[in-house]
Amino acid sequence: MKAKQEFKVVPRFPERLAALKRMAYNVIFSWQNEIRDIFQRIDPKLWEQSGHNPVVLMGLVEQRRLDELEHDTGFTSQLDEVAHRFDLYMSSPAVDKDKTCVAYFSAEFGLTTCVPIYSGGLGILAGDHLKSASDLNIPLVAVGLLYQEGYFAQYLNNDGWQMESYPSNDFDSMPLVRVTDSAGLPLKVYVRFKDRQAAVAVWRISVGRIPLYVLDTDLDENPPDIRGTTAQLYGGDREMRIRQEIVLGIGGVRALRAMGLTPTVTHMNEGHSAFSALERISLLRKDFGLSFDAAREVVQASTVFTTHTPVPAGNDTFHPDLARAYLEDYGKELGISWPVLLGYGRVNPRDDNEPFGVTPLSLRLASHANGVSRLHGLVSRRMWQNIWPKTTVEDTPIDSVTNGIHVSTWASREMSRLFTRYLGQDWKEDPDPEHIWQFISQIPLSELWRAHCHCRERLVAFARRALFRQLKRQGAPASSLQRAMEIFSPDTLTIGFARRFATYKRATLLFSDPDRLSHILNNPERPIQIIVAGKAHPQDNDGKAFIKKIIHFSREDRFNNRILFIENYNMYLAALLTAGCDVWLNNPRRPLEACGTSGMKALANGVLNLSILDGWWDEGYAPQYGWAIGNGEEEPNQELQDLTESQALYNLLEHQVAPSFYNRTSDGIPLVWVEMMRNSIKDLVPRFSSHRMVRDYFERFYRQCSERYNLLTSNNFQVASEQAAWRNKLMVSWNELAVQDLSCAEEGTKTVGEVVTVSAKVKLGALAPEDVTVEVYYGAMDHQGEFTSRETLAMSPVSQEEGGLWFYQARIDCDTAGRFGFTARITPSREKLGNPFVMGLITWA
C-alpha cells in the first residue's frame, strides 16, 4: 500500500552549528581536508555509512549527538575556525569580473563520489576545471545535466563478466538545491523535441566559488519518454543522445538567460554542448534583431571548444534524417535553410551522405579550438584539416592546452600535509605554482618515503576488504574469504592500472606472456603485485572480455597473491590507487590516448609513471621522472606493436623498475627511487596541474574572447554588423586575390647574421591592405624541398602600383645555418579576426 502523502523529518540543527549546513551544500569538502574532518568528527561511522556525503550525514545523525556537539567547546572552536576560513574563501572578489564571465558546458562533471554525474576522464577533468577556477577565483559558471541514474555501478559475476546496475540518485540527499525564479517558484525552461515541448528543471551545485547549474527533465508535466531524457549518462540510442544534447546546449543557454546571466565567453567541453552556440545566435537574433551573420560573428568570436577524442568514430554524429527531424524548424529560427545548417555539421558540406556531426559544428562556430595535450593537438589538426582544405596541417585552427589535475583533490592527506609544511599554508590557491613547487626539494627523502608507505598500507587494507566483499557476494567459501583478508603485502612493489576498459588502452598487454609475467611477479627477492580496476562501456563486449581475462589470470595459483581486480571503479577508489601504488602503468596504442590524466593524479602523490609516450607523458617524460615504454613509435602492424611493447614492458619491470624499488639503504629507503619521486613532484606537478591549465585558458582564450565579445556588442552591435558585412565582402572578393612576382633581393649564399629581403606583388582586387594579412612563410627544408619547420612573418605594404597591385616586403633574419626556403600567403586580417584561419580563406603564392 502506498501513502497518500509523505513528509520528511530531519534533526533540529542548533543555531550554534548552522555553519555545518552552509558547508554541507558546497562540494568544497571534496578538496579541503579541514572541512571533511569536521564532518567526520560528528560521527566517524556515519561518515563512512553516508558515503562521505555531509547532506546524508546530517540526516542520519541523532538529535542527541547534535545537542552534545552544541556544548562541546573543542568541536565548536574547530567549527568556528573552519567556517571562518570558508567564509573568507567564498567572499573574495573574482578576477576581471566586470569584463569577463565564462560559461563552461560539459555533459558530465566528476566532483565527488556522492554526486555521481560522471563516467570517466572527461567528467573528472571538467570537475577539476571548476575547482581550479574556484581556487583561482575566475569568473565562471558551469552547465551540465543531472542524471537520475548517472553512470552504471559495476559488479562481476562468478565468471568474471562485467554486469551493470543503475541505482537511482536521490536528489534530496545530494549537495544540490533547486533554483527558483523571482517569485520563489522552481525555475523551469523549455526546449522542443520535434513537435513536443519538454520542461527542464534547473538545480545548483556549489563548487567552491563556482555555481554549476545542472538540468533535469524528470518532471511530472513531461510524458514518460521525455522525463527519461536525463535518466542515464550516455544511455539510450542516437535519438536519446540528440535530445540530451538539445537539453544541455539549448536548454543550458536558456537557463542562464532565465537567471539573468549573460556570459562573455562560452567554453564547450567536447561536442555534446555544440547546440549552445546555435542557441546564442538565436537569442541575439530575437533580442536584438541581428542577422544570422552578425549574430554568428559575436558567438564565434566568444566561443572556445575543447575536443577530447582522437578518433573520428568517438565524435557524436547523427543521421541527416534524425538531425532534420529535431533541428529543421530550429534552423528557421536561426534564419538559415536546412541545407546550410546541415553543412555546418559536416566536414564536407556538399557531401549528401555525410552525417551531421557536433564536432564540425563546434569547430566552425568557435574562434579557439584545442586538443588536450600537445600530441593530441597535432592528431586533431590532422583529423579535422579537411574542414579547412586550403590550410596546412600546422595552421589548422586547433591549438592545444594540456590537461591538468586539481592537486588538492587528488593529493593524499599525507602528501597534502607535506606540501603545507614545506610550501606554506596557501599552496592550494597560489596563482604562480612554478615558483612555489621548487620548495619540494626541501622535503627530506625519508619523510617523503614514510608518507608514501602510509598510503600503500591503506591501499592494501582497502584491497583486502574489497576482495572480501566481492567474494562474499559471489558466495565464496569461508577459506577463500579468509585468504582475501591476507592478500597482498604492504611492503611489496605495487603497480596500478585503472581506467576505462576501451580496447585501445590495451589492459591485457601486461598479460601477453603469462609465464614471463609470473617469473617477474614471483621473484623471491623482488616481488611485484598488481591492482587493476576500471569499467567497460555496457555495450563494449571486447572491453568486458579484457576484464574477464584478467579475472581468470588472477585466479591461477601462480597469480593468486599477485593480481587483483577491484570492481566498481569510482573517484574514491581512484584516489586510493593513485596515492597507494608505487608505479602507475599506462599502455595505450599511440596516439589514441588524448591525454590520460590518471597518471597526473599518481604524479601528485609521488607515484612514478611507466607509460607509452602518448598523451601527457609524451611531453612530461624524462628519465629522472619515470619510465617510457618504447620511443613513441606508431606501428601499423598492431600484433607486432603489441609484441614489441609487451616485451619492452617486461624488460623495464625486470631490469629497471623492480631493482630500483628494492635497492635500499640500511634504514630501508630506496634513495634513487625516492629522488625520482621528489623530482617528478617538483618539476611536473605544477606543469600538469589544473591551476596551470585554467590559467592557460584564461590568458590565451577567455580574456581575448571577452574583449572581442565586448567590442562586437558595443554601440548596439554596430561592430558585429560591420564585421559580418566585412566577412561577406571577403567571401565574395577572395577569388580575385593573387601573389605575384615573389622574389628576394639578395641572391646567393648567406651567412648567419645576414638578412634576406623578400618582395611580392600582391593583387587585392576589391579589397584593401587592412582587409588582409600578407605573410612570408619560411623555414628549413628537406632534400625534396618540403618544409621540415616553418615560421611566418608579416609583410608590409610599401606602395601601390598600377592595375590594383600592391608591393609588399619583409626581412628574414638568417639566425641559423642550413637549407631554407620561403613562399607567401594571404589570409584574412589578423586584426579583425580572433583567429584568421577559421574562415578557411587562404591564397598561396
Note the pLDDT of residue 747. Answer: 67
Of the candidates 512, 401, 390, 468, the one whose C-alpha atom is nearest the C-alpha of residue 844 is 390
- Chain segment 245-281, per-residue pLDDT in tens: 999 999 999 999 999 999 999 999 999 999 999 999 9
* E strand or H helix at 157: none
- Chain segment 320-342, per-residue pLDDT in tens: 999 999 999 999 999 999 999 99
Of the candidates 113, 125, 30, 54, the one whose C-alpha atom is nearest the C-alpha of residue 568 is 113
What is the rounded CA–CA span in Å between residue 832 and residue 727?
A: 10
Note the pLDDT of residue 1. Answer: 66
Rounded average pLDDT over 468-493: 93
What is the rounded CA–CA span in Å between residue 561 and residue 488?
A: 6
**563, β-bridge pairs:** 530
What 8-state DSSP symbol labels residue 180?
A: B
Please state, as a whole number, how many other Cβ atoms lie within 10 Å of the Cβ of residue 183: 6
- Chain segment 549-607, per-residue pLDDT in tens: 999 999 999 998 999 999 999 999 999 999 999 999 999 999 999 999 999 999 999 99
Note the pLDDT of residue 618. Answer: 97
What CA dihedral angle connects 231, 205, 112 and 36, to 10 degrees? Answer: -150
- Chain segment 142-168, per-residue pLDDT in tens: 999 999 998 899 999 999 999 999 999
- Chain segment 739-777, per-residue pLDDT in tens: 988 888 766 677 777 888 889 999 999 999 999 999 998
Please determine, for residue 547, whether its predicted confidence score (pLDDT) is greater than 70.
Answer: yes
- Chain segment 86-138, per-residue pLDDT in tens: 999 999 888 777 788 999 999 999 999 999 999 989 999 999 999 999 999 99
Q: List helix spans (H) across 25-163.
A: 33-42, 44-49, 54-60, 63-70, 73-91, 121-135
755's CB contacts (< 8 A; 6+ apart) are 746, 811, 812, 813, 814
Rounded average pLDDT over 195-223: 97
CA atoms within 13 A on the CB side of 486: 6
Please determine, for residue 721, whether its predicted confidence score (pLDDT) is greater than 90.
Answer: yes
Which comes out higher in pLDDT, residue 694 or 803? 694
Question: To the nearest whole percent, how much of the chain has pLDDT over 90?
Answer: 85
What is the rounded CA–CA span in Å between residue 659 and residue 516?
A: 17
Supply the pTM of this predicted model. 0.95
The per-residue pLDDT of the chain, averaged, comes to 94
Sign of CA dihedral 654, 655, 660, 666: positive
CA distances from 606 to 436, 575, 719 (A): 17, 13, 52
591's CB contacts (< 8 A; 6+ apart) are 310, 375, 376, 379, 614, 634
Q: What angle is formed at CA 132 by the lines to CA 128 and CA 135, rounded to 5 degrees? A: 140
- Chain segment 623-673, per-residue pLDDT in tens: 999 999 999 999 899 999 999 999 999 999 999 999 999 999 999 999 999
